[in-house]
A and B are shown apart, each in its own frame.
Chain A
Amino acid sequence: MTRDFAKFEQLIYTYKEPIYSILLRMTEQEEAVRLLKGAFVKVYEEMPHYDGRMSRKSWLYRLVIQYWSEHKAGHGSSRLVKTGREQQLECLIANLPERSRLLFLLRYGGDCSYKEIADITQMSIDEVREKLDVIKQQMRNEVREARE
């Protein structure tokens, strides 16, 4: 992939929102925007080095996650003002350990397949599936316990 400006613009439009939804829950809101901007600049710089070994989406997400991991200032997540079930879900996500939160967000915020998550995080597909299953069961249990 050459450093093509039009192609880059297309990548931003396609992936900015799903990636923002992930970063927003991995760090503070202002920080998420700053990191996303920096990560996209990095993506532009790295475009000539894309070798097609993984999908373009996995490659891009991997670069962004690497950038976040190297440049993040803290471990918190954004305080999002929501109500009812949505607020409950945001709390459950915010309380997940960082690694589990990332996997969950890649799946549901980033709309990634198990294979894509495995490529991005360098885990095996089976590990990704098992881990996501455990995370979901834990979250459902917490919702059940809160109701009782």
Chain B
Amino acid sequence: MTCPSAQVLSQYFDELLVGEEQRQIMRHVTSCAACQCVLALYEDEAKFIKETLRMPSLRADFVDEVLAQVKSRHERRWLKYSYVAMLALIALFITTLICAEVVM
């Protein structure tokens, strides 16, 4: 097999090829130093892209800020539920009082 084009090797590296085509290139690459060199370049390229994208990183207090925001929303929600529950209890108490007066 003659060496595949750089584009086909790139597709092989990115796992875009399937079936027999993929197997043929795999067999060729294991015994072809030139193609191994090209694949090594693609590997370096992918590594370089990933490393470049890792920077800059988030500021250190980010997690604390998100957790504080979530906790405060959580507490506000509970406060709202407690308030509604308290109002319901007061309403129930007043209704019971009124009913008791009507019966007497």
Give residues in A with beta carbon < 8 Å to B: 5, 8-9, 12-13, 16-17, 20-21, 24-25, 33, 36-37, 40-41, 44, 80, 82, 85-86, 89-90, 105, 108-109, 111, 114, 129-130, 132-133, 136-137
Is the beta-carbon distance between B53 and A108 smaller than 8 angstroms?
yes
Is the beta-carbon distance between B14 and A40 smaller than 8 angstroms?
no
Is the beta-carbon distance between A109 and B53 smaller than 8 angstroms?
yes
Q: How far apart sit A130 and B59, CA to CA, in the bound complex (Å)?
A: 36
* Among B11, B16, B52, B66, contact of A12 (Cβ-Cβ < 8 Å): B66
Q: How far apart sit A135 and B69, CA to CA, in the bound complex (Å)?
A: 38
* Among B14, B54, B62, contact of A16 (Cβ-Cβ < 8 Å): B62
Is the beta-carbon distance between B66 and A89 smaller than 8 angstroms?
no
Within the complex, what minimum Cβ distance (angstroms) separates A98 from chain B? 17
Give the chain B neighbours of A44 by CB distance below 8 A.
70
